[in-house]
């Protein structure tokens, strides 16, 4: 599904990723772990076509090289990206946010059958959004905003869903809901690439783990290899032994 080989990426001249290789196989999930500032978001952005730009290496999606493509083309190929910090359009209503997510569907009218169907599916999956469809997105609670962000990414009917710390800043019960949802999506056949800090919860939906440190792959393997608590501790404490805030 997604194959990244030896990716080096930079914000202008500032390199933040070096020789990163990872893959997400169809129908499986890969989680990316790493300390604050390790380069996780940068990696996801590079995959989606936002800065940092690839300076070397290749990103192959669905058998095609998408390394230099514009973001909207990658999304049209079937990548859904839920950015960190519940990135939604706060000044638009819930329904408008969902419609924005549907621009990749055929046609430019808002009432096409495909669009209606996608809306119906979203509201069926997230009843709370249906209730608040006319409300401004910025007025939703944190959990609802995160649901909206995911629902929006699902509107384009992606094959691969990329999520950046979807649990950040949410109450524990809602975190549970989020992971339940991710598990459900995975069962429905969606491939998943997830960046998380809440390792215990993340591991429940993971098939494969990649640890990024200082912009490089520090460790990588099937989830069972990471059962050893010492490895997890290393991730959390970092090599220098300083605890990581928020962990």
Partner 1 sequence: MTTIWSGLVIGALYSLVAIGYNTVLLASGVFNFAHGQLIMLATYASFLGSVTFHLPWPLTVLFATIAVAVVAIVEERVAIRPLLARRDIHAALITTVGASTVMSGLAEVTAGSDPKQLAIPISNDPLTILGGVIAPMDLLLIIATLAIGLGIHFWSRRSLLGIASLAVAENRDAASVRGIDTKLLGVGAFAVAGGIAGATGLLVGAHTYAIPSLGNSLALFGFVAIAIGGAGSQLGGLLGGFITGIIFALSARYIGSDYPQIVVFGVFLAVLLTRPRGIFGRAMERVV
Ligand X SMILES: Nc1ncnc2c1ncn2[C@@H]1O[C@H](COP(=O)(O)OP(=O)(O)OP(=O)(O)O)[C@@H](O)[C@H]1O
Rounded-to-integer distance, Cα 24 and Cα 26, Å = 7
Closer to ligand X by Cβ: residue 62 or 84: 84
Closer to ligand X by Cβ: residue 40 or 115: 40
User: Nearest distance from residue 72's CB to ligand X, in Å?
Assistant: 20
* Helix 142-154 / helix 172-187 crossing angle, nearest 10 deg: 10
Helices (H), the chain: 40-48, 71-77, 94-101, 113-125, 127-131, 142-154, 172-187, 199-205, 229-237
Contact range with partner 1 by CB under 8 A, out of 17-25, 108-116, 120-128, 194-202? 108-116
Instruction: Give the x-and-dash track for 141-170 against partner 1 (CB under 8 A).
Output: -----------xx--x--------------
Closer to partner 1 by Cβ: residue 136 or 218: 136
Closer to ligand X by Cβ: residue 34 or 143: 34
User: Nearest distance from residue 165's CB to Mg ion, in Å?
Assistant: 6
- Candidates 29, 41, 45, 67: give the one binding Mg ion (CB under 5 A): 41
User: Nearest distance from residue 244's CB to ligand X, in Å?
Assistant: 9
| Site membership for ligand X, residue 39 (CB under 6 A) | yes
In 3D, which of 54, 44, 1 has the Cα closest to residue 25? 1
Sign of the four-CA dihedral 17, 225, 186, 86 = negative
- Candidates 34, 143, 158, 238: give the one binding ligand X (CB under 6 A): 34
Q: CB under 5 to 8 A by kind: which of ligand X, partner 1, Mg ion, none does 76 bind?
A: partner 1
Closer to ligand X by Cβ: residue 36 or 204: 36
Our CA dihedral for 150, 153, 157, 163, rounded to 10 degrees, sits at -70
Closer to partner 1 by Cβ: residue 103 or 130: 103
Which tokens in the block code for residue 144? 């609802």
Encode 170-186: b = buried (16+ Cβ within 10 Å), e = exposed: beeebbeebbebbeebb
Which tokens in the block code for residue 139? 């007025």
Give, for 60, the enclosing helix (H) or strand (E): strand 53-61
| Site membership for ligand X, residue 14 (CB under 6 A) | yes
- Candidates 34, 39, 57, 101: give the one binding partner 1 (CB under 8 A): 101
Rounded-to-integer distance, Cα 210 and Cα 241, Å = 20
Site for ligand X in 45-104 (CB under 6 A): 84
Residue 65, number of CB atoms within 10 A of its CB: 11
Rounded-to-integer distance, Cα 38 and Cα 17, Å = 9
Task: Give the binding site for Mg ion (CB under 5 A).
Answer: 41, 84
Q: Which chain residues interact with ligand X by CB under 6 A?
A: 11, 14, 16, 34, 36-42, 84
């Amino acid at each position: 599904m997604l194959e990244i080989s030896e990716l080096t990426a930079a914000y202008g001249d500032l390199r933040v990723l070096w020789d990163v290789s990872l893959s997400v196989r169809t129908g499986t999930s890969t989680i990316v772990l790493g300390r604050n500032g390790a380069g996780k978001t940068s990696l996801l952005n590079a995959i989606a076509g936002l800065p940092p730009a690839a300076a070397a290496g290749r990103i192959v999606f669905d058998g095609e090289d998408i390394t230099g493509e514009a973001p909207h083309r990658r999304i049209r190929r079937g990548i859904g990206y839920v950015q960190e910090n519940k990135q939604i359009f706060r000044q638009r209503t819930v329904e408008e946010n969902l419609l924005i997510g549907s621009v990749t569907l055929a046609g430019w009218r808002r009432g096409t059958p495909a669009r209606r169907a996608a809306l119906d599916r979203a509201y069926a999956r997230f009843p709370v959004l249906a209730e608040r469809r006319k409300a401004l997105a910025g007025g939703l609670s944190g959990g609802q905003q995160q649901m909206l962000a995911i629902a929006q990414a699902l509107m384009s009917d992606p094959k691969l869903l990329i999520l950046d710390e979807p649990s950040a800043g949410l109450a524990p019960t809602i975190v549970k809901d989020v992971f339940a949802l991710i598990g459900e999506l995975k069962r429905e056949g969606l491939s998943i690439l997830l960046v998380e800090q809440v390792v215990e919860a993340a591991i429940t939906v993971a098939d494969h783990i990649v640890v990024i440190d200082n912009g490089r792959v520090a460790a990588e393997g099937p989830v069972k290899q990471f059962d050893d608590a010492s490895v997890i501790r290393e991730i959390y404490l970092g090599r220098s032994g300083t605890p990581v805030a928020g962990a």
